[in-house]
């Protein structure tokens, strides 16, 4: 599962409280007490590059037996350096990408 926000001090990702103030989000970690302003500009989780492009990824579920059905799509960001193959595929097809992991049960 992708983590959207984690504490830069202790790595906590669940016990966080966010407050909106002046077009930014202030986050407080309940585990260690650190407070920081969340950067809302998307970046690559692998290389920290800001050279990312928006794309959609399919959200799939099993509908009957082993048949998979697309339930919805979620916005993801593809890095121009780390995700070149996926980004090229998305730009050619202009269709939601299949997730890396498909439901198994």
What does the pLDDT look like over 57-102, one tens digit per residue? 999 988 777 788 889 999 999 999 999 999 999 999 989 999 988 8
Using DSSP, state whether 84 is helix, strand or coil.
helix
Residue 9 to residues 6, 13, 34: CA-CA distances in angstroms?
9, 11, 7
CATH number of 1-40: 2.20.25
13-41 pLDDT, tens digit each = 999 999 987 778 999 999 999 999 988 88
Indicate the pLDDT class of residue 105, thresholds 50, 70 and 90: low
pLDDT for residue 4 is more than 80: no
Domain with CATH 2.20.25 in the chain: 1-40
| pLDDT of res. 24 | 86
What is d(CA 81, CA 1) in angstroms, rounded to the nearest whole number? 22
């Amino acid at each position: 599962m992708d983590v959207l926000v984690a504490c830069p001090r202790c790595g906590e990702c669940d016990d966080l409280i966010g407050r909106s103030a002046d077009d930014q989000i202030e986050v407080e970690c309940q585990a260690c007490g650190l407070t920081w302003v969340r950067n809302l500009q998307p970046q690559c989780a692998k290389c920290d590059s800001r050279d990312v492009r928006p794309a959609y990824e399919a959200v799939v579920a099993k509908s009957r037996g082993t048949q998979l059905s697309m339930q919805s799509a979620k916005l993801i960001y593809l890095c121009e350096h780390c995700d070149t193959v996926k980004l090229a595929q998305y730009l050619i097809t202009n269709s939601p990408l299949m997730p890396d992991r498909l439901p198994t049960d």
